[in-house]
Structure 1
């Protein structure tokens, strides 16, 4: 199907025919949690904090974990009346590049993810929606960060009275799902959340 990423073929591994097969049930390994012995916050910022935890690992030894504290974020995949995806092009300093992304942003204190999704959609695109559907959630980098992104699909869009956020400069880009999949394959979309949401929506749409 045009526009879908081509996955590598899976090859069947032949079992050796020499010797009897061991049919005994394998014992499932039980993973142990790490016990936090102490925590020290070494940085407090507007968006993130940095904490160093001292933990006891299952072997009994101690180790340290550097943890980025984050309130969490939302990402929204808007779909217009023609079935096109609304993406935003903006400059990202850590990447030193202009990236093509889904509208997204942090969750304010005591704010529900759904309300944050509506707010970010208005601030970054100038649109709001009458239908907001939860897609999935995921941890950005669970090896060192607490940040979790809640992902939504927005349909039945309408122009919002709220002005677009003046602190950031966005360029609105409309793409069909096939064009977005091709952009991922070409490397034109390199933002992780945007890749995950565009491909998940494309696969879901293809299966219907």
Structure 2
């Protein structure tokens, strides 16, 4: 055990739902004391920074019940059991936007809230977009408005807090960095 590691003594499963589960773990701290950790388990997700040939960012506006408001986001979705993240990214892009792509490249993976959740998001960039005639249908409980934004419009929506989630802010900042490096 490393000098920072917490040893799990007992795990109590509290809730198991469609997307997440919650457990409480009793842990032994590095100093020998005992504490509790509330942990959300999540299967992981993908997010797609999809760029049109005109360099517009494909986004969706979606109502988020946890926030009680709509926000503008890059397409994203939950990994199915044992699903390859790149395959999931292609599926989610098609389901949410009706687009397929010629090129899908992994950019980075990151944990969203490691203090209490194990959710990891795999961020991809998609280029060579093609509108699919018989695209996969969105999930039955998913309603989105499709948008195509310039980088400047996305930056404006960040300031207005219409883009307000980490994965989308990260994607916009990635494009800002690429633009700055190429000037």
- The answer to whether 1:162 aligns with 2:139 is no
TM-score (norm 1): 0.82
The answer for the alignment partner of 1:72 in structure 2 is 44
Q: For 1:197, what is the secondary structure of its paired residue? A: helix
**Structure 1 unaligned regions, length at least 5:** 1-29
The answer for the alignment partner of 1:183 in structure 2 is 157
- The answer to whether 1:96 aligns with 2:68 is yes
Q: CA RMSD in A?
A: 1.3
Between the aligned partners of 1:172 and 1:164, the Cα distance in structure 2 is 14
Q: Which runs of 4+ in 1 moved over 4 A?
A: none
The answer for the alignment partner of 2:84 in structure 1 is 112
The answer for the alignment partner of 1:56 in structure 2 is 28
Distance 1:82 1:31, change over 3 A: farther
Q: For 1:172, what is the secondary structure of its paired residue? A: strand
Between the aligned partners of 1:155 and 1:95, the Cα distance in structure 2 is 31
Q: For 1:137, what is the secondary structure of its paired residue? A: strand
Between the aligned partners of 1:145 and 1:166, the Cα distance in structure 2 is 24
**Greater Cα offset, 185-194 or 136-145:** 185-194
**Structure 2 unaligned regions, length at least 5:** none
Residue-pair matches, total: 179
Between the aligned partners of 2:16 and 2:6, the Cα distance in structure 1 is 24
Between the aligned partners of 1:181 and 1:164, the Cα distance in structure 2 is 30
Between the aligned partners of 1:193 and 1:88, the Cα distance in structure 2 is 13
Shift of 1:31: 5.2
The answer for the alignment partner of 1:40 in structure 2 is 12
Instruction: Please tell me whether the aligned partners of residues 178 and 202 of structure 1 are also in contact (alpha carbons under 8 angstroms).
Output: no
The structure with the largest strand share of the pair is 2
CA deviation map 1:127-149 (0-9, x unaligned): 01110111111111100001000
The answer for the alignment partner of 2:177 in structure 1 is 203
The answer for the alignment partner of 1:17 in structure 2 is none
Of the three residues 96, 100, 112, the one matched with 1:124 is 96
TM-score (norm 2): 0.93
Between the aligned partners of 1:156 and 1:141, the Cα distance in structure 2 is 32
